[in-house]
Amino acid sequence: MNEPLAIQLRPTSLKDIIGQKHLVGEGKVLYNLVKNKRLFSMIFYGKPGIGKTTIAIAIVKELGLKYRMLNAVIHTKKDFDIVIEEAKMNHGMVVVMDELHRLNKDKQDLLLPYLENGLITLIGMTTSNPYHKINPAIRSRCQIFELHELNSDEVEDAVQKAIQSGILKDIQVDEEAKKMISSLSSGDIRSAYNLLEVAYYATNDFHITKEVIKNVNAKPVFFHDKNEDGYYDVLSAFQKSIRGSDVNASLHYLARLIEAEDLDSIYRRMSVIAYEDIGLANPSIGPKVDACIHACERLGLPEARIPLGTMVIEMALSPKSNSAHLALDLALSDIRRGNTGNVPSHIKTNSIDYLYPHDYPNGIVKQTYMPENLKNRKYYKPKTTSKYEESLKKIYDKIEQLQKN
């Protein structure tokens, strides 16, 4: 059986990893763990094909540790038993586990004691958010690292590395074909390698052109005009047009994205816009976007264009407010700088001094909720771009006035 190109090119050291410099770059956390020859249980999460398994294997190989690969779905409890027995014989082992969010209770119960006593060091990979999808008992025993989506330049670097590797003998790739492979992969290096390999064997002279890529790839090309504006630029223009309330530009970029048939990217971007750019100015927009997405999933293309067009027009013409996410970002900034303080004693669990707001007129009572050192800190700055948020501002101002008196 021939190993896929992606496996043959998999790096064995962190310095050869493409992207993820916030984790593997010099002086960063994973770089330093390897440098200091120390490993802890950890979880990598992010999109497919961005390096989760590659980084895990590079770490254990650089550290020279014994490891076994397991998949939470396809490997049975018996497979887990065998690995644990092997770990006992070797006085410890690293388990690199894919699809960690699919780990069932039986396997979790088997694994947990050995994570606890250090016999097993787990490096888990998942495409799902571990804070939502992974059992808290597993999560609490692991450090969690998010891998970032790769940009087109990084994927193009990976394609160039594959071309220069010598694995695909006598390969020639035109520059525009290389850019097309990068664009079509949508930030997934494995997908880029697979497309390059198929294109290579689909030629009679190993010369890969733009036409060869078109012939072997069923997915529409993500270049959108004669100047070959990048796909991510079109997504950015889509969001900024809705944010700027230009309904015609919004529909234009939506049409380009529909032609690319990448509904997932459209859904994600619309969901972000609903809360980042429209937010409290029109709180009903979030559920409406969800309903639109469900309708599109049932319909598929080409009919999905109908609810998408309807929704995008409403989003573009909706009042806009970013006050909610700016407020939370300010609060997060305080937390990350260590600017927290103690919870006031009267709102701690089982406090006898707590004043129950429902017992007071209008459900409001004067009492402090913020830590003492932050009691005058203001995160939320209301906007008056819509009647709804204007009504929230009146309530907000009334509460502020009550707390001052």
* 35-to-14, 24, 38, 262, 311 alpha-carbon distances in Å: 11, 11, 8, 41, 51
Residues written for the chain: 405
How far is 51 from 245, CA to CA, in rounded Å? 37
Q: Are 217 and 250 in contact (CB under 8 A)?
A: no
Confidence of residue 365 (pLDDT cuts 50, 70, 90): confident
Confidence of residue 218 (pLDDT cuts 50, 70, 90): low
Q: Residue 327: which residues within 8 A CB-CB, separation 6 or more? A: 379, 380, 381
Confidence of residue 231 (pLDDT cuts 50, 70, 90): low
pTM: 0.64
Q: Are 188 and 50 in contact (CB under 8 A)?
A: yes
Confidence of residue 362 (pLDDT cuts 50, 70, 90): confident
Secondary structure of residue 68 in the 3-state scheme: strand
Percent of the chain with pLDDT over 90: 60
Confidence of residue 124 (pLDDT cuts 50, 70, 90): very high
Secondary structure of residue 120 in the 3-state scheme: strand
Residue 312 is encoded by which pair of tokens?
């995008």
Q: Tell me: the pLDDT tens digits for 313-348?
A: 999 999 999 999 999 999 999 888 888 888 999 998
Q: Residue 26: which residues within 8 A CB-CB, separation 6 or more? A: none
Confidence of residue 225 (pLDDT cuts 50, 70, 90): very low
H helices present in 10-151, as ranges: 21-24, 29-35, 52-63, 77-89, 105-117, 130-133, 136-139
| Amino acid in position 229 | D
Confidence of residue 165 (pLDDT cuts 50, 70, 90): very high
pLDDT, mean over the chain: 89
* 354-to-181, 186, 349, 359, 374 alpha-carbon distances in Å: 62, 53, 9, 11, 19
What pLDDT is attached to residue 219? 62
What pLDDT is attached to residue 228? 44
Residue 225 is encoded by which pair of tokens?
């005009």
What pLDDT is attached to residue 223? 47
List the Cα angle 266/268/270 in 5-degree steps.
65
What pLDDT is attached to residue 75? 93
Give the mean pLDDT of 284-299: 95
Query: Among the listed ranges 80-89, 118-127, 165-174, 391-400, which one has the minimum average pLDDT value?
Result: 391-400
> Does position 226 have pLDDT exceeding 80, yes or no?
no
How far is 60 from 114, CA to CA, in rounded Å? 18
3-state SS of 96-109?
EEECHHHCCHHHHH
> Does position 297 have pLDDT exceeding 60, yes or no?
yes
What pLDDT is attached to residue 227? 41
Confidence of residue 265 (pLDDT cuts 50, 70, 90): confident
List the Cα angle 402/339/389 in 5-degree steps.
45
Give the mean pLDDT of 281-288: 95
What pLDDT is attached to residue 220? 55
Residue 202 vs residue 222, higher pLDDT = 202
Residue 121 vs residue 222, higher pLDDT = 121
Q: Are 180 and 221 in contact (CB under 8 A)?
A: yes
* Paired sense of beta strands 207-208 and 172-173, if any: parallel
> H or E element: which one contains 124?
strand 120-126
Give the mean pLDDT of 207-221: 82
Q: Tell me: the pLDDT tens digits for 8-34?
A: 999 889 999 999 999 999 999 999 999
What does the DSSP assignment read for 253-320? HHHHHHHTT-HHHHHHHHHHHIIIIIGGGSTTHHHHHHHHHHHHHHH-TTTTHHHHHHHHHHHHHS--
> Does position 221 have pLDDT exceeding 60, yes or no?
no
What pLDDT is attached to residue 294? 95
Give the mean pLDDT of 207-229: 69
Backbone angles phi, psi at 355, to 5 degrees: -95, 120
Percent of the chain with pLDDT over 70: 96
Backbone angles phi, psi at 262, to 5 degrees: -100, 75
Helices (H) and strands (E) in the chain, counts: 19, 7
